C-alpha cells in the first residue's frame, strides 16, 4: 500500500510542475560544469518579480571527498563555500527564448587543513610542500548574459551563461612543513599553479557555465 501511495505522490508532483510550467515564476538551477571544473556543487534559485525583472542567488559547496576531481591540485582536507546573489533583466520578456542580462556579486571562501602540493610565492618562486594550512577568499562583480532554452509546456530546460567582471583574490599559507624550491613546470598547463599563488591581487574575472533548469 505504501509503495503505491509513494508512486502516486511522485507522479502527482510532476503533473503539478508540468501544469505550472506555462505560468512559472520560479526556477531552480544546477550547474553542469561546477563539480568538474570548480570542484564544488552549485545550486541556484531564480524568482520572477515582473515581466522584466528577476532576482536570484546561487550557493556552492565542495570538499575533497564529495567532488569528482581534487581541489586546486592539493592533497588533504579542503572545503569550499560560495554565494552569488544576482539581479536579472529580461531583454525580450514576450519571447519564448528568454534573454537575460544580469549583475552578480560573489564571495568565495576556501579552507585547506594539512594539505600538500605545489605553489608560487609572491616573488614567483615555485615550491612544493608536504603540509600546510591554506586559505583563499575571492569576491567581486560579474555582468552576465544568459539564455533560457526550454519549451513553454516543459518544466525542464537549459541555461547557458557567459560573463565578465572583476575580482579580488587573497591566498595565504600557514604552518608550512617541508617546503622545497623546485623548477617551475614547463609542460601541460603550468599556469594552473598560478591559481594557488600566495598573496593578494585584483584581476579581471571570466564566467561561463551551463545550467540545468527546473521551472515551477
What does residue 135 show for φ and ψ, rounded to 5 degrees? Answer: -140, 130
pLDDT of residue 129: 95
Grid coordinates representing 163 are 560573463
pLDDT of residue 72: 63
pLDDT of residue 192: 61
pLDDT of the chain along its 216 residues, tens only? 544 444 554 445 445 545 445 678 999 999 999 998 888 999 999 999 999 999 999 999 998 888 777 666 678 888 999 999 999 999 988 887 889 999 999 999 999 999 999 999 999 899 999 999 999 999 999 999 999 998 878 899 999 999 999 999 999 999 999 999 998 877 655 456 677 899 999 999 999 999 999 999
DSSP string, 38-71: ISSEEEEEEEE-SSSEEEEEEEEEEETTTSSS-S
Query: Whose CA is closest to 200, among 82, 121, 109, 94?
Result: 121
pLDDT of residue 5: 47
Q: Distance between CA atoms of 99 and 189, rounded to whole angstroms?
A: 35
pTM attached to this predicted model: 0.83
Q: Distance between CA atoms of 142 and 138, rounded to whole angstroms?
A: 13
Q: What residues have CB less than 8 Å from 8, skipping those under 6 apart?
A: none
pLDDT of residue 144: 98
Helix (H) or strand (E) holding 150: strand 126-150
pLDDT of residue 96: 78
Domains, in order of start, for the chain: 26-115+132-173+197-215 (2.40.160.20)
214 neighbors 18 (Cβ within 8 angstroms):
no
Amino acid at each position: 500500500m505504501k509503495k503505491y501511495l509513494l508512486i502516486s505522490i511522485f507522479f502527482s508532483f510532476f503533473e503539478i510542475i508540468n501544469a505550472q510550467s506555462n505560468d512559472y515564476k520560479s526556477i531552480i538551477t544546477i550547474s553542469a560544469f561546477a563539480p568538474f571544473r570548480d570542484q564544488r556543487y552549485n545550486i541556484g534559485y531564480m524568482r520572477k518579480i515582473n515581466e522584466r525583472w528577476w532576482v536570484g542567488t546561487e550557493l556552492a559547496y565542495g570538499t575533497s571527498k564529495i567532488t569528482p576531481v581534487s581541489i586546486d591540485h592539493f592533497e588533504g582536507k579542503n572545503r569550499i563555500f560560495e554565494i552569488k546573489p544576482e539581479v536579472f533583466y529580461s531583454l525580450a520578456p514576450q519571447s519564448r527564448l528568454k534573454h537575460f542580462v544580469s549583475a552578480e556579486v560573489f564571495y568565495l571562501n576556501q579552507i585547506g587543513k594539512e594539505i600538500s602540493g605545489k605553489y608560487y610565492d609572491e616573488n614567483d618562486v615555485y615550491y612544493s610542500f608536504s603540509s600546510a594550512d591554506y586559505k583563499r577568499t575571492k569576491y567581486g562583480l560579474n555582468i552576465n548574459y544568459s539564455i533560457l532554452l526550454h519549451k513553454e509546456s516543459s518544466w525542464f530546460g537549459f541555461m547557458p551563461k557567459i560573463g565578465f567582471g572583476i575580482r579580488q583574490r587573497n591566498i595565504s599559507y600557514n604552518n608550512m612543513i617541508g617546503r622545497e624550491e623546485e623548477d617551475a613546470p614547463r609542460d601541460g598547463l603550468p599556469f594552473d599553479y598560478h591559481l594557488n599563488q600566495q598573496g593578494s591581487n585584483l584581476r579581471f574575472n571570466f564566467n561561463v557555465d551551463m545550467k540545468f533548469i527546473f521551472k515551477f
